[in-house]
A and B are shown apart, each in its own frame.
Chain A
Amino acid sequence: MEQLLDTEIHQEPMTVAVVLHWLAESHMKARSLKDGILIPWAMLGVGLVATNSTLVKLPTQKQSFTGWIRGEGAREWRGYTKHIILAWKGSFWRAFAFGSAAGVLSLNNGRLCSQGKICSPDITSSAGIVRRAARAIGGTIGAEQDDLRIASALGLEFES
């Protein structure tokens, strides 16, 4: 499945667009002001669900971000978030273009927002597992107070 997901996400921009939709949807749901998910966090989310080794360690439900980030599973890849984000940049933007064109994604104040509805896959299917993980990531990030704390937890500092 790992190979399948990886290949699929790289080759099918719509697949990534769907993942992004789920991320943004759950993020917006967690935020009181329905803010969309910040672009680098969306890139990170795609990268996490695209590989099975990280997918299986992701939380299946929304939880405290600090608790999750301290977990052994998250700590493994914490030092590599920058590289993950950069690695999935191309796929993100290509998917965003397709998603945007399809009308399921949009950028609002620099944040990725979901639009419309997408049919949910069977919960036991591989797509269902991905959806569950993507929604958990989006919800977890969305539950944090602000992006600065998330950046701190992920060990990232932005520069112009």
Chain B
Amino acid sequence: MSWRIKSLILYQRDGNDKRVLKFNTHGVNVITGNSQTGKSAVLDILNYVLMSKSCPIPKGIIRQAVSHVGGHFIGPDSELMILRPLPDPGSKVSTQGWYQLGKRLTFPNELPDMVSNREVIRDVLSSFTGISGAAVLSNPKEPWQAVQAEANIRHAAPLIFQPQDIVANRYVSVPGLDLENHRRHMLDALPFLLGIENAEFLSDRARLRHLKGKIRVLKMRGQERQRLRANTFARGHKLWLEAQGVGLIDGKIPESVPELLVMLRDLHVDNEKRFNIATVVPDIRELEARELDTRKAVQNQRKRIKSLLDFEQAAESHQDVVARQINKLSVADLLPTAYAGENCPVCNSNTFASENHREQLKMTLSSLENIRAVPLKIDVKARKARIRLEEDLVPLEEAHESARAKLRNAVAVISKNAKWLAGDRAIDRLLGRVAEYLRTVDIGDMDDEDAGLAGLISEADELLKKINSIWKRRMETQKKIDTRMTSWARRMEVEFKEGNASISVEDLAIKVQVDPNSDEMTSLSEIGSGANWVCYHLAGILAIHDHLSKNDCPVPRTLLIDQPSQAWFPEELKDTDKEGNLIPRRSEDANRVRDIYQLLSEISAQNKFSQIIVMDHARFADKWFMDLVRYEWRHGNKLVPEHWIL
């Protein structure tokens, strides 16, 4: 189901007037006229009515004088009428709108309330075109998120427009193809729009994309597991080799991680032997401590003895000093000198006999004469203490010697067992590493998930096979379109008419066979001449519409072409007569344009072919051409009436 344009309408801003452009739903509709009369705006108005995201209608007279634009579209069974307000001054676009579905519809005289919005009307339009519920497209803007969108009328819109800047463009064949975002969406939907694929195929394709992503993830996980398994085995194998080296393990070399784990878990150590070695070795630290204690005791005792010896030595020195300090005292010196008179000092009697005293004194002191007193022994206690300490030192020295002997023996024993002990420590370390290995290895991480992966691969293969079946259909479609395009390009007298022409159903790229003897197809951008570009564009888009018409594809049956004569009559070289007829510089140029219009007329005369609306400066006085002209905007006639512009 698809539709054609019956009419377009413009509502006067700040007024009640409206301008209706009516079109034949079949055949060619030519709008001819001078520059700046609004011809190209017709294409923009239709694009805007088809719910473009932005407002393509150029700022200026139209936006100032027109408040709303609308379209009346006729489908096989019903009609659709859409009105959309132009953006208010200062805003970029209006998202409001109004639509009506039914039969025998007419534009309302009074503007209805714009109760609907862009999204709703776009869906209605898509449904009216037969697109809805079909293509499932991925959104490349958010590749991390599986945002999916259905194909809509906007994906089909590029196929019905050939604006002035596209019809002679050597790089792109339809508008929007040079914008990556639009290109991706458009090309995603193209197979569906061309009838090569249907909704089921597109759904399968989306499913296949999903499956491929999932398969890729599973394969990566599988590779990761393989790496993990390999690393785990390598670590375990190294431990197994070490265990074998120290004699803890024996047997055949393990070949898998589970085998390794079993063997390492069964590691056997001769604990009795370890115990024997451990018990033979004396407690060296205790012996060292004991030896140290006894050594300190002996040293302290010796220090005390030494200090006493020093004291005795000092005492002897003291005695020497004392001996040298002896003073000889003469007894005679002690006797009293003679008193005067030697009488009593109190009564002066002569009874005081000092001689007697002198003799007594001499006698008494004589016992001390010439006797050297033995010096006082002041170190007796010290000597006694020293002797006692020396006696106590003997058992201490014996204890120390005993401790030293035991320590020496222990060191000898340890040296003797050093090799065994080192081996024992190595075994301990190895057992620790094995325990750590067994703890960290998670056999669950290495379980295969191949069953799930195989199922996915199988499903993906089936889907791929199913999807690949359309390859044949695509090739057939491509062939038909190319044949038709080549035929029509030759009719338009292109430069390389001996060779074939092609417009790809995959990416809408136009290619030309420059050398008929070679299979090489040359891109349009690599060949020259604006005339060639226009002709190949027209041939290509006409071929596509031919395909659309014959296969009942969900694309509107209308094609708007702006300025197809621009290659032969550039703006700066346009000359017209009083009636506006173009005066060609060369008659062959006029003939080329005339041929194009004749071809368009001929093609569109086919029963189901899309209606063609052409906006052009060209005007031919031929009757057949004048029959095609729907509007001629010269001598004041314009898209927007003069009285609207005040």
Binding site for B on A (CB under 8 A): 13, 38-40, 43, 66, 70, 78-79, 81-82, 85-86, 89-90, 92-94, 96-98, 100-102, 107, 109-111, 147-149, 151-153, 155-160
8 contacts between A and B (CB under 8 A): A43-B334, A90-B337, A93-B336, A101-B346, A110-B365, A151-B373, A158-B329, A158-B331
In this complex, the member of B326, B329, B369, B378 whose beta carbon has the largest number of chain A beta carbons within 10 angstroms is B329
Contact of B376 among A101, A149, A156, A157 (CB under 8 A): A149
User: Do the beta carbons of B336 and A89 come within 8 Å of each other?
Assistant: yes
Q: Given that A66-B376, A148-B373 are known contacts, is A156 also in contact with B329, CB under 8 Å in the complex?
A: yes
A160 proximity list for chain B (CB < 8 A): 330-332, 366, 369-370
Q: Does B246 contact A (CB under 8 A)?
A: no
A92 proximity list for chain B (CB < 8 A): 336
User: Do the beta carbons of A153 and B327 come within 8 Å of each other?
Assistant: no
Contact of A110 among B322, B336, B362, B370 (CB under 8 A): B362
User: Do the beta carbons of B334 and A39 come within 8 Å of each other?
Assistant: yes
A152 proximity list for chain B (CB < 8 A): 373-376
User: Do the beta carbons of A89 and B376 come within 8 Å of each other?
Assistant: no
Q: Does B363 contact A (CB under 8 A)?
A: yes
A78 proximity list for chain B (CB < 8 A): 325
Nearest CB of chain B from residue A119's CB, rounded to whole Å: 19
Q: Does B368 contact A (CB under 8 A)?
A: yes
User: Do the beta carbons of B364 and A159 come within 8 Å of each other?
Assistant: no
User: Do the beta carbons of A40 and B364 come within 8 Å of each other?
Assistant: no
Contact of B372 among A102, A109, A157 (CB under 8 A): A157
B372 proximity list for chain A (CB < 8 A): 157
Q: Does B412 contact A (CB under 8 A)?
A: no
| Docked pose: A73 CA to B356 CA in angstroms | 37
B residues 350-382 with Cβ under 8 Å of A?
352, 356-357, 360-376, 378
User: Do the beta carbons of B352 and A101 come within 8 Å of each other?
Assistant: yes
Q: Does B142 contact A (CB under 8 A)?
A: no
Nearest CB of chain A from residue B367's CB, rounded to whole Å: 8
Q: Given that A101-B352, A151-B373, A158-B329 are known contacts, is A40 also in contact with B346, CB under 8 Å in the complex?
A: no
User: Do the beta carbons of B327 and A156 come within 8 Å of each other?
Assistant: yes
User: Do the beta carbons of A101 and B329 come within 8 Å of each other?
Assistant: no
User: Do the beta carbons of A149 and B373 come within 8 Å of each other?
Assistant: yes
| Docked pose: A94 CA to B344 CA in angstroms | 10
In this complex, the member of B328, B336, B352, B372 whose beta carbon has the largest number of chain A beta carbons within 10 angstroms is B336
User: Do the beta carbons of A159 and B373 come within 8 Å of each other?
Assistant: no
User: Do the beta carbons of A157 and B326 come within 8 Å of each other?
Assistant: yes
Q: Does B339 contact A (CB under 8 A)?
A: yes
User: Do the beta carbons of A97 and B345 come within 8 Å of each other?
Assistant: yes
Q: Given that A39-B361, A82-B329 are known contacts, is A98 also in contact with B346, CB under 8 Å in the complex?
A: yes
Nearest CB of chain A from residue B418's CB, rounded to whole Å: 63
User: Do the beta carbons of B334 and A109 come within 8 Å of each other?
Assistant: no
Q: Does B333 contact A (CB under 8 A)?
A: yes
Q: Does B347 contact A (CB under 8 A)?
A: yes
Q: Given that A94-B345, A100-B352, A111-B364 are known contacts, is A158 also in contact with B375, CB under 8 Å in the complex?
A: no
User: Do the beta carbons of B368 and A158 come within 8 Å of each other?
Assistant: yes
Q: Given that A66-B376, A153-B376 are known contacts, is A107 also in contact with B360, CB under 8 Å in the complex?
A: yes
A94 proximity list for chain B (CB < 8 A): 345
Q: Given that A97-B344, A97-B352, A159-B331 are known contacts, is A147 also in contact with B336, CB under 8 Å in the complex?
A: no
Interface flags, B191-234, vs A, CB<8A=1, else 0: 00000000000000000000000000000000000000000000
Nearest residue in B to A148 (C-beta to C-beta)? B373
B residues 303-324 with Cβ under 8 Å of A?
322
| Docked pose: A94 CA to B372 CA in angstroms | 31
| Docked pose: A157 CA to B361 CA in angstroms | 16
User: Do the beta carbons of B327 and A155 come within 8 Å of each other?
Assistant: yes
Nearest CB of chain B from residue A46's CB, rounded to whole Å: 13
Q: Given that A109-B364, A158-B331 are known contacts, is A101 also in contact with B370, CB under 8 Å in the complex?
A: no
Besides A109-B364, A157-B326, 8 more A-B contacts (Cβ < 8 Å) are: A93-B337, A100-B352, A110-B360, A147-B367, A152-B375, A155-B327, A156-B329, A158-B328
Nearest CB of chain B from residue A132's CB, rounded to whole Å: 27
A111 proximity list for chain B (CB < 8 A): 364
B residues 114-147 with Cβ under 8 Å of A?
none
Contact of B329 among A40, A70, A90, A102 (CB under 8 A): A40
| Docked pose: A38 CA to B329 CA in angstroms | 14
| Docked pose: A133 CA to B332 CA in angstroms | 28
Q: Given that A110-B360, A147-B368, A151-B373 are known contacts, is A101 also in contact with B344, CB under 8 Å in the complex?
A: yes
Closest 5 A/B residue pairs (Cβ): A110-B364, A152-B373, A93-B336, A101-B346, A82-B327
Nearest residue in A to B357 (C-beta to C-beta)? A107
| Docked pose: A100 CA to B171 CA in angstroms | 161
User: Do the beta carbons of A70 and B344 come within 8 Å of each other?
Assistant: no
| Docked pose: A113 CA to B640 CA in angstroms | 168
In this complex, the member of B337, B339, B356, B361 whose beta carbon has the largest number of chain A beta carbons within 10 angstroms is B361
User: Do the beta carbons of A148 and B344 come within 8 Å of each other?
Assistant: no
User: Do the beta carbons of B325 and A155 come within 8 Å of each other?
Assistant: yes
Nearest CB of chain B from residue A11's CB, rounded to whole Å: 14
A85 proximity list for chain B (CB < 8 A): 329, 334
A89 proximity list for chain B (CB < 8 A): 333-334, 336
Q: Given that A43-B334, A157-B328 are known contacts, is A101 also in contact with B345, CB under 8 Å in the complex?
A: yes
Nearest CB of chain A from residue B123's CB, rounded to whole Å: 125
Nearest CB of chain A from residue B169's CB, rounded to whole Å: 128
A38 proximity list for chain B (CB < 8 A): 364-365
